């Protein structure tokens, strides 16, 4: 195979999703195999440029592409001292003095986004931002006017076709002036890249007519994946040890968690209107706490039990069962059980203390009648006669003691250790031990702080469908954008147990920072991820662009392929343009 290196350059490059995708594309025509090389990118965000370097493998250039007028309208003030407008020479310098084969332009899209109101989009601030689209195209054309770029792809939000129509008309005229054939279309990057998200974008593609006679073909369409097919290959949300800080579950307001839990899967907030509210409360639903480790948990008779562990007791997990087979009134294995006065007793066995079965009775008779067994004297009453067999089973030698803090015998570790003890909010706790847990001391607290509606917290509420309705983690959003591939990060080949343990240890160390964008702000991370071009979609575009360039270099103008030309109107326009060139 003959090798051919193609180059690409990026305006408003962001984190470098488009550059990463182009780098992965490996187009082939005949016996020629091409690969793409990134020669640079421009952006105004220093943090984004640091991410760009990591994803693309080359340094980006920090450069403000605004004109002075645009800067003032967007920022509402004059530029700082030393600021100047970017020139075509700055663009060439950012590309290392080389002319790229393809240029990818991904201008800011906030001004044309449907998330921005129509009135806001018309303000000078956002009009100036929209004008960067035309500014970038002009700078590119002027930078390499003596040796034009072969192919151009310009992406933005679909609404640019309406809110920025006047700008697109100027862009088309500008590109036609520099001898480019242009096609406008709207494509789903999710379908182009085979993502787990539907991401419809406006795409303008252009080819230089003299340099690239072949048609530019559409990328192959793929099937959208499900969200779970991506997230299911990642560690559980919140497992930052395995996936880093970008995988933390966002802290939301309490009322937001409740709303999420009540929204039906696949629907949005509008389904909350179906809930019945009475006096400000949900009539049919109530939220109850649930212990994650199944503490004192009771299995339903028809439910599957968890793993049987060495300490499978009621207080160490979900190791009890609601057994429906017990006969009505038959009290079996009931420690400290108390019989009704009119019930029959169970069989009297060798061990018959209150703690060993149902060997107590609710005696309605006056304590003074007869020889009272297991009688309990009232605190303010008198005791029975003290006799030789003065035990709890032989007379009234038990007392109803109302005093708190009663102490049992010396050395009674269980009772004096505060097991399952709850500390008052205003009290001090004991020394924190290495094994401090709720079942081996006073390691619980009576917390009076119930979450307010606007309090931010991370919690799990099991929804009506039995699942956890939660926000995506920042890392999951990066995976949905194809900025990371879970299989490359967490999959493991079959190996011996020892090899697996070693590999998992090494991988955990490597993954602690395997994909952590610059900075420490989830909000900034999410904004840069949301603005990114999905690498998988960019790879598909880079593949067809590379194929077109290889065809041009081979002298071919047509390829027998089932792939359609990139939208039919473009095919007509390109054909007409070609005829005009031939006529001249």
Q: List CB contacts of 471: < 8 A, sequence separation 6 or more.
A: 249, 250, 252, 260
Contact 379, 356 (CB under 8 A): no
Are 163 and 142 a contacting pair, CB within 8 Å?
Answer: no
Lowest mean pLDDT among 195-204, 222-231, 568-577: 568-577
* pLDDT higher at 512 or 17: 17
326: in domain? no
Q: Answer yes or no: do 43 and 56 share one domain.
A: yes
Number of domains in the chain: 2
Nearest to 329 by CA among 345, 318, 313: 345
Same domain for 205 and 62, yes or no, is yes
Q: What is the mean pLDDT of residues 363-372?
A: 56
Note the pLDDT tens digit of each residue in 557-569.
555 455 556 533 3
The reply to whether 407 falls in a domain is no
Q: What rounded mean pLDDT belongs to the chain?
A: 80
Residue range 239-262, pLDDT digits in tens? 888 888 999 988 888 888 888 888
Position 22 in a domain: yes
Q: Which residues in 448-485 are b (16+ Cβ under 10 Å) and which e?
A: eeeeeeeeeeeeebeeeeeeebbbbbbbbbbbbbbbbe
Quick one: pLDDT at residue 447?
A: 73
Which pLDDT does position 69 carry in this prediction? Answer: 96
- Residues 427-454 pLDDT 10s: 877 777 666 766 677 777 777 767 788 8
Q: Where are the beta strands (DSSP E) in 209-311?
A: 252-253, 277-278, 281-282, 298-299
Look at residue 488 in the predicted model and tell me its pLDDT.
Answer: 85
* Same-domain check for residues 110 and 61: yes
Q: What's the pLDDT at 133?
A: 95
191 and 283 share one domain: no
97: left (phi over 0), alpha (psi -120 to 50) or beta: left
Residues 74-98 have pLDDT tens digits of: 999 999 999 999 999 999 999 999 9
Tens of pLDDT, residue by residue over 296-330, are: 677 777 777 766 655 566 666 777 777 676 544 44
Please compute the mean of the pLDDT values over residues 228-238 and round it to a whole number. Answer: 88
pLDDT at 581 over 50: no
CATH number of the domain residue 120 falls in: 3.40.50.150
Per-residue pLDDT reduced to its tens digit, 45-58: 999 999 999 999 99
Q: Are residues 208 and 278 in the same domain?
A: no
| Domain residue limits at 249 | 230-290+451-511
Residue 200, pLDDT > 50, answer yes
Same domain, 466 and 492: yes
Residue 30 pLDDT grade (very low, low, confident, very high; cuts 50, 70, 90): confident
* Statement to judge: residues 275 and 209 lie in one domain: no
Query: Both 131 and 117 in a single domain?
Result: yes
Asked whether residue 364 is domain-assigned, the answer is no
More reliable by pLDDT, 2 or 561: 2
In a domain, 157, yes or no: yes
C-alpha angle 386/371/332, rounded to 5°? 115
Same domain, 208 and 281: no
Distance from C-alpha of 528 to C-alpha of 513, rounded to nearest angstrom:
18
Domain membership flag for residue 234: yes
Q: Report, as an integer, the average pLDDT of 334-341.
A: 69
321 falls within a domain = no
Report the candidate in 48, 42, 69 with the shortest Cα–Cα distance to residue 125.
69
Instruction: Say how far apart CA 169 and CA 271 lie, in whole Å.
Output: 42
Provide the pLDDT for residue 313: 63
Same domain, 16 and 138: yes
Domain ends where: 464, 481, 511?
A: 511
Specify whether 106 is located in the same domain as 242.
Answer: no
């Amino acid at each position: 195979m003959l090798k051919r290196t193609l180059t690409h350059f990026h305006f408003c490059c962001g984190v470098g999703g488009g550059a990463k995708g182009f780098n992965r594309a490996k187009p082939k025509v005949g016996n020629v195999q091409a690969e793409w090389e990134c020669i640079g990118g421009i952006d105004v965000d220093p943090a984004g440029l640091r991410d760009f370097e990591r994803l693309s493998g080359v340094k980006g250039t920090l450069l403000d592409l605004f004109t002075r007028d645009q800067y003032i309208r967007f920022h509402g003030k004059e530029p700082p001292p030393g600021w100047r407008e970017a020139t075509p020479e700055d663009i060439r310098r950012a590309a290392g003095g080389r002319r790229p084969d393809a240029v990818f332009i991904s201008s800011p899209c906030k001004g044309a986004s449907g998330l921005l109101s129509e009135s806001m989009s018309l303000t000078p601030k956002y009009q100036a931002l929209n004008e960067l689209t035309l500014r970038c195209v002009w700078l590119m054309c002027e930078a390499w006017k003596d040796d034009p770029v072969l192919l151009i792809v310009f992406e933005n939000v679909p609404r640019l076709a309406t809110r920025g129509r006047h700008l697109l008309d100027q862009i088309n005229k500008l590109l036609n002036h520099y001898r480019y054939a242009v096609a406008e279309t709207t494509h789903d990057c999710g379908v182009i890249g085979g993502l787990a998200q539907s991401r419809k974008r406006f795409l303008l593609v252009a080819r230089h007519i003299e340099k690239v006679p072949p048609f530019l073909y559409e990328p192959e369409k793929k099937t959208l994946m499900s969200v779970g097919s991506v997230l299911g290959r990642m560690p559980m949300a919140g497992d930052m040890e395995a996936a880093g800080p970008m995988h933390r579950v966002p802290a939301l307001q309490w009322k937001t968690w409740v709303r999420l839990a009540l929204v039906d899967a696949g629907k949005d907030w509008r389904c909350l209107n179906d809930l019945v509210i009475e006096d400000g409360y949900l009539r049919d639903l109530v939220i109850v706490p649930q212990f994650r480790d199944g503490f004192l948990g009771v299995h339903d008779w028809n439910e599957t039990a968890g793993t049987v562990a060495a300490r499978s007791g009621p207080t160490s997990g979900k190791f009890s069962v609601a057994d429906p087979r017990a006969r009505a009134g038959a009290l079996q294995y009931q420690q400290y059980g108390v019989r009704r006065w009119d019930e029959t007793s169970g069989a009297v066995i060798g061990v018959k203390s209150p703690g060993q079965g149902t060997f107590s009775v609710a005696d309605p008779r006056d304590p003074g009648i007869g020889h009272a067994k297991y009688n309990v004297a009232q605190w303010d009453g008198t005791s029975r006669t003290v006799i030789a067999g003065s035990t709890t089973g032989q007379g009234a030698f038990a007392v109803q003691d109302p005093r708190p803090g009663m102490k049992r015998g010396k050395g009674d570790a269980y009772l004096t250790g505060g097991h399952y003890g709850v500390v008052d909010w205003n009290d001090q706790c004991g020394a924190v031990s290495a094994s401090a847990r709720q079942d081996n001391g006073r390691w619980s607290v009576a917390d009076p702080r119930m979450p307010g509606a606007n309090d931010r917290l991370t919690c799990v509420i099991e929804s009506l469908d039995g699942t956890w309705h939660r926000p995506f983690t920042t890392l999951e959003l990066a995976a949905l954008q194809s900025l990371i591939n879970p299989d490359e990060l967490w999959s493991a080949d079959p190996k011996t147990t020892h090899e697996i343990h070693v590999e998992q240890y090494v991988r955990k160390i490597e993954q602690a920072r395997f994909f952590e964008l610059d900075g420490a702000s989830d909000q900034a991370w999410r904004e840069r991820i949301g603005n990114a071009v999905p690498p998988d979609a960019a790879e598909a575009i880079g593949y067809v662009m590379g194929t077109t360039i290889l065809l041009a270099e081979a002298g071919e103008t047509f390829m027998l392929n089932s792939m359609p030309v990139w939208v039919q109107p473009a095919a007509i326009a390109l054909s007409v343009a070609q005829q005009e060139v031939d006529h001249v």
